[in-house]
Structure 1
């Protein structure tokens, strides 16, 4: 999982923890693995359709621009920015199809587990 994806998930959790009800937090936690499997399944299906996997890396690059100095005046400067670079990797279509089939089976099992966990959440935290 990329660092960007992890930081986005953590930011989402921080927001969720701040304003979500206990029932919503419980349901969100119960569905975590299901969401992860679904994301990977979507990615793998895209890989198979394209014929290659895309690796995205956030890369620091030095760029020229304008900065505000101590007196509040704009002046030319160099600063670090980040850009996403993509690298394409060939895949083995047969292995990718096998992985997709495995993920589909895992997702079907997870759907049943999530239904049970959601029922437990609703029993523990009745409608508020």
Structure 2
């Protein structure tokens, strides 16, 4: 249910964007993704390890309330399932991570050149 709560406002915001903004947002998406990957890889290299998010599912014992047909309240033991996200360090090959960073930077440079041309087309097609 939570992803829908997050996605719906974003959908409304996207609907409010002008055609020019929508076009520019679409053609620069890959550059933004590559920039985020570069930032993550640089962080991994600076730390010397990567961070990974893992979900832990556990059962928690609790006391629940119930209601009898006559309206009286009673307590009973119950169990609830709880999911917790935990960030854990993960070992990485620093040489491979450095090679990945170099590759990502090269791809970003290429992607930005292509995005610049596409943005110019968006501006020409959708003058404000």
With structure 2 as the length reference, what TM-score do the two structures score?
0.73
8 A contact 1:62–1:79 mirrored in 2: yes
| Runs of 5+ unmatched residues, structure 1 | none
Bigger-Rg structure (1/2): 2
Equivalences, count: 118
Structure 2 match to 1:44: 41
Structure 2 match to 1:124: 125
With structure 1 as the length reference, what TM-score do the two structures score?
0.73
Q: Classify 1:16/1:91 alpha carbon distance in 2 versus 1 (closer, same or farther; 3 Å).
A: same
Aligned-partner Cα distance in 2 for 1:66–1:22: 54
| Runs of 5+ unmatched residues, structure 2 | none
Q: Classify 1:109/1:62 alpha carbon distance in 2 versus 1 (closer, same or farther; 3 Å).
A: same
8 A contact 1:16–1:25 mirrored in 2: no
Aligned-partner Cα distance in 2 for 1:30–1:69: 55
Structure 2 match to 1:112: 113
Poorly superposed stretches of 4+, deviation over 3 Å: 58-71, 75-82
SS of aligned partner of 1:57: strand
User: Any idea what the Cα deviations from partners look like across 1:53-101, whole Å, max 9, x if unmatched?
Assistant: 1111344444577989889x9x897544442112221111111111101
SS of aligned partner of 1:100: helix
